[in-house]
A and B are shown apart, each in its own frame.
Chain A
Amino acid sequence: MSRNVQRLITSRGAISGAYALTGVALVPLGLVLAYTIAKGFPSVTHLEFFTNVERPVGIPGAGIAHAIVGTLMLVGIASLGAIPICVLGGIFLAEYGISRIADWVRLGSDVLIGAPSIAIGLFAYALLVAPFHHFSGLAGSAALAVLMLPIVMRTTESAVRLIPGGLRESGLALGLPRWRVSLQLILPAAAPGVITGGLLSVARASGETAPLLFTGFGNPFLSFDPTQPLAALPLTVYHFALLPYPSLQEQAWGAALVLVVMVLIVNLASRYVLRGQIRFAGQQ
């Protein structure tokens, strides 16, 4: 066999290998989704699953309404706290990005993205649970806000950077102060990108369990009071999955399915919004 044929065969083999391994990468995605749907589906076919709260083992009609409400409250409060900070911080990084402070902020937030979420939970516990002697939804929201902070800040930065310089220069040429240019011209133009970052961080935060273990803690009842312990979908999945009762395990799968559907919807919504942004940037 000539050397060139051998080289060609090696190359073809390597390409097939790379594609095969890529296929392997997608197998777990398919399996996780398939099992979650198959095992969670029996639970979500009952309407009570979405309207009732936990019931003792053996009593039918148990639901996860409290966990859905809890997750929405925890993530909602965390977003209210984190997103304005992140948007201003992201504007700083994009508009005044060439400075030593900005470099430190970038490094700090990139490192914070990789910080173990359980450590953030311990941090929130030490600051917001231990001094008050009880678990609270607010402490859980604070932990989630710390998680969201670097994600939204960096995505806001890249969204603002996508905005063509001409827009900024026209604003400044009209005599507008920097803050008006940033907040009233650039930010609206970058809104889809910023919203995408916000949605991605919301998706990430709603799936987090570890930071909530000793902050939000969980609550078997429907509660709207963030100063008290709050239930959350991931906590329900975690606690029920490890119990030996089949009915609770089934509820855990059902809650997992609801969680996955929520997270994937938010994720896909963020892609849809981002597509608009890229189209806008491309037109300029």
Chain B
Amino acid sequence: MATATDPTIAVRSQAPPAPPDRFRLLTAVVACAAPAALILIVFVLFQQAWPAVIHYGLGFLVGTNWNPVSQEFGALPGIFGTVSTSLIALALALPVGVAAALVLAEQGAAGIRSLVGTGIELLAAIPSVVYGIWALYVLGPWTFDHIETPVSDRLGFIGWLASASPRSLFTASLVLAVMILPTLAAVSRDVIRAVPRGLKENAIALGATWWETTWQVILPSARAGIIGATILALGRALGETIAVTMIIGNNYQIPPSIFSPAYTLASVIANEFTEATGVLYPAALVELGLVLILVTLTLNVVALLLVRSTAARAAI
């Protein structure tokens, strides 16, 4: 056991104190730019929205009018449009995304996997305005002719399936589904890969088929992470602006049918902000942005914690 007279300790105590690590300090300060930007964004938006926040109070969130002339602003139709397009998109993209993640996470068939992986990453790389122009001229007319019209002709007596329109909530949801697919597939693939190999091997050793292994072992084990991926994708869908603005029809209403034109929070801002004059009008638009970013950020934090918990479990 070392004592006070131990020579190594004596030498160590005589060594000069380590100089403060200025490089560490510098990089730490610079790195804080990211969280600082986040806090600053929320703060600035809150400050800009303040006139509308105090003028309309909580009624802003449930108001259904949007009338710059009479200065009546309510966010409900925008919130409805944003949430409904995102949820429909998620319902459409989730099965496809998880299936693609299972294929991508699978061992073997390396050629197909790298092809699919590249394809899905390129899908993520295509700018949203390109999805927008494609939706406007190709997808919108096609769904109008081949999905919306037939469905509303036969099932139009159900209120929310009536009145087809080439620019609609439904088409916007379809485009969003395509746009969130890469996020879903990539994050789900990572959490599925993080499932401990032993679990899978045990299931196979017990004689389980591919499907039994996947359904009863891998997916339950990756559940938190896949929920996280889903929420991350939801966050992307909520915040997506341009493609949706081009295809949703921009009608400030709670649409009677999923085939009717609607509006989303981000699209209202994109369309109206440069023309907004006065005090309350721009402030109301910024408040829409504030609602959007607060919802998105909350969802992101929850999603990241879920994904990390799965990854951490895999590391043990």
A245 to B158, CA, bound (A): 37
> Are the C-beta atoms of B214 and A14 separated by less than 8 Å?
yes
> Are the C-beta atoms of B120 and A214 separated by less than 8 Å?
no
**Is A65 interfacial (CB 8 A cutoff)?**
no
Task: Chain A residues near B120: list those with CB within 8 A.
Answer: 25-26, 29
Known: A85-B30, A117-B239, A241-B246. A178 touches B296 (CB 8 A): no
Specify the chain B residue showing the minimal Cβ separation from A237.
Answer: B129
A32 to B127, CA, bound (A): 11
Q: In the complex, which of the residues A22, A118, A242 contacts B99, with contact meaning CB atoms closer than 8 Å? A: A22
**Is A10 interfacial (CB 8 A cutoff)?**
yes
Task: Chain B residues near A172: list those with CB within 8 A.
Answer: none
> Which residues of A (1-49) have their CB < 8 Å from a CB of B?
7-8, 10-11, 13-15, 17-22, 24-26, 28-29, 31-33, 35-36, 39
> Are the C-beta atoms of A119 and B289 separated by less than 8 Å?
yes
Task: Chain B residues near A15: list those with CB within 8 A.
Answer: 210-211
Specify the chain A residue showing the minimal Cβ separation from B296.
Answer: A116
Known: A92-B24, A101-B28, A153-B31. A123 touches B129 (CB 8 A): no
Task: Chain B residues near A177: list those with CB within 8 A.
Answer: 23
Which applies to chain B's interface (DSSP): helix, strand, loop or mixed?
helix
> Are the C-beta atoms of B127 and A209 separated by less than 8 Å?
yes
Name which of B7-15, B54-62, B131-139, B144-152 contacts chain A. Answer: B131-139
Known: A108-B35, A241-B246. A203 touches B125 (CB 8 A): yes
> Are the C-beta atoms of A92 and B211 separated by less than 8 Å?
no
Task: Chain A residues near B279: list those with CB within 8 A.
Answer: none
Q: Of A35, A39, A114, which is in contact with the most chain B CB atoms at under 10 Å from its CB? A: A114
Known: A25-B97, A28-B178. A93 touches B23 (CB 8 A): no
A252 to B21, CA, bound (A): 53
> Are the C-beta atoms of B41 and A256 separated by less than 8 Å?
no
Cβ contacts B92-132/A at 8 Å (1 or 0 each)? 00011101101110000000000010011111011111111
**How many chain A residues touch the partner (CB < 8 A)?**
87
Q: Of A35, A36, A116, A234, which is in contact with the most chain B CB atoms at under 10 Å from its CB? A: A116
**Is A74 interfacial (CB 8 A cutoff)?**
no
> Are the C-beta atoms of A260 and B126 separated by less than 8 Å?
yes
> Are the C-beta atoms of B129 and A209 separated by less than 8 Å?
yes
**Is B162 interfacial (CB 8 A cutoff)?**
no
Least CB distance from A122 to B in Å reads: 5
Known: A17-B99, A105-B32, A256-B130. A92 touches B27 (CB 8 A): yes
**Is A179 interfacial (CB 8 A cutoff)?**
yes
Q: Of A7, A105, A122, which is in contact with the most chain B CB atoms at under 10 Å from its CB? A: A122
> Are the C-beta atoms of B273 and A214 separated by less than 8 Å?
yes
Q: Of B134, B181, B292, B301, which is in contact with the most chain A CB atoms at under 10 Å from its CB? A: B134
Specify the chain A residue showing the minimal Cβ separation from B174.
Answer: A28
> Are the C-beta atoms of B45 and A209 separated by less than 8 Å?
no
**Is A149 interfacial (CB 8 A cutoff)?**
yes
Binding site for A on B (CB under 8 A): 21-24, 26-28, 30-38, 40-41, 44-45, 47-48, 95-97, 99-100, 102-104, 116, 119-123, 125-134, 136-138, 178, 181, 185, 209-212, 214-215, 232, 235-236, 238-242, 246, 266, 269-270, 273-274, 286, 289-290, 292-293, 296-297, 299-301, 304
A selection of 24 A-B contacts at a CB cut-off of 8 Å is A8-B209, A15-B210, A19-B99, A21-B95, A22-B99, A22-B116, A24-B96, A35-B134, A101-B28, A111-B301, A115-B239, A116-B266, A119-B45, A119-B293, A122-B48, A122-B289, A126-B45, A126-B47, A126-B286, A179-B23, A237-B129, A238-B132, A253-B133, A267-B125
Binding site for B on A (CB under 8 A): 7-8, 10-11, 13-15, 17-22, 24-26, 28-29, 31-33, 35-36, 39, 85, 88-93, 95-96, 101-102, 104-105, 107-112, 114-120, 122-123, 125-127, 146, 149-150, 153, 177-179, 182, 203-204, 206-210, 213-214, 217, 234, 237-238, 241-242, 249, 252-253, 256, 259-260, 263-264, 267
